[in-house]
Every structure is written in structure tokens, then in C-alpha cells.
Amino acid sequence: MADLYELKARTWLTADRATAVPDGDPAAAFLLGNEGTKITEKQAIELGLIKPATKQVDKPANKSSTGKRRGRPPGSTNKPQA
């Protein structure tokens, strides 16, 4: 079963039904639910009530491990050419 989100107060949808707004907002058009109404977390995220959980990606500890070398190319020297 999907995780549920419980509304904290009377909540409305805008006319395009894309965003949830609090009671008293001038953009309110359709009643989504009263305090205690449960909706799916997916709906709550889509309506902007909660932020989606973000996955943390592990970054490589050493940037030089990407295969790129630093410094002069092999065989080069600081000696002046004659």
C-alpha cells in the first residue's frame, strides 16, 4: 500500500488542479480536504505539499581517480632546447 500524507489543515486546489493552497487563499477553487484527510504521498508531492525525498549520490573521494593526469606530459623536461 502507498504511503499516506495527512493534511494539516483545510486545503484547496487551484483552478487548474495543479497546486494545493491553504484555506483563505484567493486562488482556491476546489476543496481537496479538511484537516486529517489522507492522500497519497505521490499526490502530496505533485501538489507541492511536501518535497520529494532525494537520493544522495556518493561522489568519488579523489578527483584524480577519473583518469585525467595533472602536470606535464611524460618525457617533457625543463631543460632549454639547443
SS3 51: coil
Does residue 61 form part of some domain?
no
In this prediction, residue 65 has a pLDDT band, given cuts at 50, 70 and 90, of: low
Residue 52 lies in a domain: no
Q: How many domains does the chain have?
A: 1
* Cell digits of residue 58: 556518493
Which residues partner with 14 through β-bridges?
Answer: 28
55: in domain: no
Range of the domain at 31: 1-46
Mention every residue, 6+ apart, whose C-beta is less than 8 A from residue 4: 38, 39, 40, 41
* Structural domain includes residue 39: yes
pLDDT digits (tens, 9 = 90+) for 2-55: 789 999 999 999 999 999 999 999 999 999 999 999 999 999 999 999 988 776
Domain presence at residue 13: yes
Instruction: Tell me if 4 is assigned to some domain.
Output: yes
